[in-house]
Structure formats: C-alpha cells, structure tokens
Amino acid sequence: MRGLSPSFMQELKTGILIGFLNAVLEDDTLCLEIRANSINIYYRGGSMFKIGYDNGKYAVSFDANYLRKNTEVIRAISPYNHSEWIRNIPLLKTEIDGYLFHVKAGLEREHQQLVQRDNNSSSIAGDTDYYIADLEYSRPENKSRFDLLGIKWSSKASNHKVGKNLRLAIFEMKYGDGAITGSAGIKKHFIDLNRLMNDKAKYESICNDAEVMLNQKIELGIFVSPSTKHQMITVSRGKPEYILLIANHKPAKKALVRELRAVTNEDYYQDLKQLVDIRVARPSYLGYGLYEESMMNIEDIIDASPIVL
C-alpha cells in the first residue's frame, strides 16, 4: 500500500528531511511522489532522489544510470548526508540533463511531470478539473502500472467546496506517434485496463492509494486542495475515467485512429465501457491543463476521421 508512516511525515514537515520538502516547495522543476513508506523526488521525469528508511536511518540514493561527468563526486556522498545531497541538487540536475540529451530518452516521463505541475501546483491549477496523485504508479504485487493516477474534481465553485467521493482518473500518456503502436502501445493498455476493472480487490486498492497519497500531499503542502474547507478528501469506488494523453500527435497520421478503432472492435470493449468511462484529452490550446470539456469519446474521434484501413 502506498503511503508514509506518521514518523516519516513528521520528519518531512519538521525533522531531518525538511530540507528535501523545502527543495520541492521552492523549485517547480521538482516533484515529490509517495511510495510505500519511501519517496521519490523527480526532475524532468527522472528520479533524482529515492529516500527510504534503512537500518534506523533515512537513506538517500541517486540512480547511477544518470551518472556521466561527476561520477566520483556523487558516489562519494554518503546515503545519510542529507545536507550534502540537497547542496548538490544543481549538480544532480546537470547529470540528468546530460543523460536525457545524449540518450534521447525520457520525454514521455518529462511530459508526465508537466501534466502534474500544470494541474497540481501551477497558477492555473485551482481552475482545472483533474489532479494528479502519482507519477509512474506501480503496484508489482497486483501488476498495476499507470503513467499517472489522479482524481476528477470539477472546477465549478460549488464542487470545489466538497472533496468527498471524488472520481478516480487513470491516465496513460503517449509521446509522439511512435509510442501509439507496438508491445507497449494503446491496445496493450486497454488489455491491462480490462483486467483491472474486472478485479474488484485490485481496483479497491488503487482507490485507497490515490486517497492516501493525495491527502498526504495536501498535508505536506505540495498539493494545494481547491476545497475552501481543506478537509480530507475521499475517492469514490464507482465508475472511474480512463484518459489517454497523446502528446505531439501529428493529425495527418492515421495510427491513432487505427489503434482506437482496433480497440473498439475487441470482444471485451462494450463490457469495459460499462465499467469505465474512456476519454481522449484534447489539448487546452498549448498547455497541459485538464478540463472536462476537453475530454472526447473514442467513438467521436473515430467518427470524425475518414475510414482508416
């Protein structure tokens, strides 16, 4: 189960980990994501820090795959020297920058973080209709994995006063048309979604995780609740939304419509529609703000396009 222990939360708010929380609060290129009594701090979609409780201490690690120019300096930092890790955040950013530039990978994850920032903490966040509980959500024990997990919370003033029974929102992001097809393409995600929605216990656990993570983010101040009462939020166990985020799709290309049509022709599709509302997000001009009015049905996209063979 996702979530931090009371002692972990206290260390972040007022204790030995407060420097990491302050770094996130003061730098909107960083975001903090909650795991099972550990946290990851992301930069450009890459995990800059993983912090967990180890042998009576809070240990910090940096993904060695990102190391390029400053390997010796970074490897020399003790996992328990928190101030040194925080002091070297600019250096760690250059390592991730270099990795992303040379390897040409990670754009999808970077855009996931942009979605999170626009809807959770930017200047327009209070006016959007969706909020993000987690990036790179994964539960190996029940084989659940989603690019983003969140909630739908209508921006209408009357709805923002109440944070109860909010609708779960599951997001899959595809960056560029090359990511739409293949072994990790759209069809594969719908197969996984169908498996999830037919397993009530698994779905319940995901709703629980979203609820815990969002409430703890509110407590830490890294997600500002739009509720005027700032009460604890709850997540409905009812019908969720499943939303495809297609970044930089070229309209002239037919792969998207072809893949969506293939999904609608699957035997399970009509039954799946009874369990989840499936949407494709249209862009809000050039931003990543997510609005109810911008969500399209798959069938509407297919009907608006010429026949694709």
pLDDT tens, position by position, 270-280: 999 999 999 99
Query: Within 13 Å and on the Cβ side, how many CA atoms surround 178?
Result: 2
Tens digits of residue pLDDT in 161-219: 788 999 999 999 999 888 898 888 899 999 999 999 999 999 999 999 999 999 999 99
Q: Hey, what are 147's tokens?
A: 């690019």
Tens digits of residue pLDDT in 98-139: 999 887 766 889 999 999 999 999 989 888 999 999 999 987
Confidence of residue 304 (pLDDT cuts 50, 70, 90): confident
d(CA 200, CA 191): 16
| Angle CA 17–19–23, to nearest 5 | 125
Summary count for the chain: helices (H), strands (E) = 12, 10
CA 285 to chain centre: 21
Residue 220 has pLDDT above 70, yes or no: yes
Q: How much is the pLDDT for 306?
A: 65
Taking residues 9-17, what's their average pLDDT? 97
In DSSP terms, 179 is beta-bridged to none
d(CA 246, CA 221): 30
Model-level pTM? 0.93
Q: How much is the pLDDT for 232?
A: 86
Q: How much is the pLDDT for 145?
A: 87
